[in-house]
Amino acid sequence: MKPSLPCILSAVPRTLHVQLEIAKAIRTLAAPTQDQQVRQQTEPATTHTERELIAQIAHELILDLRKAGFNPDEPRVPAGNPEGGQWTKDGGNGAVISDAKPDNTWKPGGQYAANNPPGIGHNQGPPLEEPPPIPPRPPTIPKGLNTFIKAAAYWLAAAGKGVAARYLKILQAVYWVTTLALPYIRAYLSPPKTLEELQQDVLNPQPGYNIHHIVEQTPARDNGFPEDMINGPDNLVRIPTLRHWQITTWFQTGNPDFGDLSPRNYLRDKSWEERRRVGIDAMIRFGVLKP
């Protein structure tokens, strides 16, 4: 049986707008101080009434989202295509996101990346029928945290803008999501840029992004290409972390376009120009670079 809400919350209107405001207020009051943040990094996670309450409200907001017009059959446009994976003025682009950096104990990496999100982002299979559930506290292992981040990012990229904007507001109401997950999710949803913009962004590192080598650095180094080419400004771009993982996985996966070799194996004896051509194509393919 679901526990009843505190009497203060029971006395206010149960509208989506009011509940969002309550959740934001609780998030602010429940935000840990610097001393608490240090303790949280060294002590195991404990149950906090405030965070459980936020999770309960977030769950009820998801139910309200469905009542407010969520439609799993709403037309969806993959990120990276025209009008896909982008925020309009009424789609949440002006939302204020916490600038807190992710917990340094989380070390994301390509080993946790899926090959491609099935069913979303590339028109593979049916759309998801509901938003991913939001844990009341951050997962205790990196893989669990990464799984939630990918699920939320892929769902938002595939959902219609109006529905996605409502789910994004729910994510903003949960403190740990804004600090650990939202930078990666919003980066994944960012529209593709020109090559010049991606290269310029290297000078401005941000949470949720990685520095990516257009020509893969380790294979290029193994084949004797000079370091000033491998790490030169023409070969470096800043791209969303999740898309970086997808590109890395694509490079190591067998592909019929390359005689069933992985792109990495295909490029083993190729010129710098051919490696760069394939690297550019990969960035276009995964919605990082404008065609």
Residue 18 maps to a domain: yes
Q: Is the same domain home to 150 and 32?
A: yes
pLDDT digit string (tens) for 95-129? 323 333 333 333 333 333 333 443 333 333 344 56
* Residue 173 · residue 24 · CB < 8 Å: yes
Mean of the per-residue pLDDT values for the chain?
73
pLDDT for residue 262 is more than 90 = yes
Domain end marker among 162, 189, 216: 189
Q: Is the same domain home to 39 and 162?
A: yes
Q: Is 0.75 topped by the overall pTM?
A: no
At 178, list the tokens: 């804004």
Percent of the chain residues topping a pLDDT of 90:
48
Q: Is the same domain home to 203 and 84?
A: no
pLDDT for residue 197 is more than 70 = yes
Domain end marker among 151, 168, 189: 189
Q: Is the same domain home to 219 and 257?
A: yes
Q: Is the same domain home to 219 and 237?
A: yes
Q: Is the same domain home to 13 and 120?
A: yes
The count of structural domains within the chain is 2
Which DSSP string corresponds to 75-130?
Answer: ----TTSTTSS---GGGTTT-----PPPPTT----GGG--SS-TTSSS--SPPPSS
Pairwise pLDDT comparison (80 vs 241), residue with the higher score: 241
Q: Is the same domain home to 165 and 233?
A: no
pLDDT at 131: 87
pLDDT for residue 241 is more than 60 = yes
Mean pLDDT calculated for residue range 80-104: 35
Bridge partners (DSSP) listed for residue 239: 210
Pairwise pLDDT comparison (176 vs 58), residue with the higher score: 176
Residue 65 confidence class, pLDDT cut points 50, 70, 90: low
CA distance 83 to 6: 43
Domain end marker among 149, 171, 189: 189
Q: Is the same domain home to 215 and 161?
A: no
With H, G, I as helix, E, B as strand and everything else as coil, classify residue 2.
coil
User: 43 lies in which domain range?
Assistant: 7-189
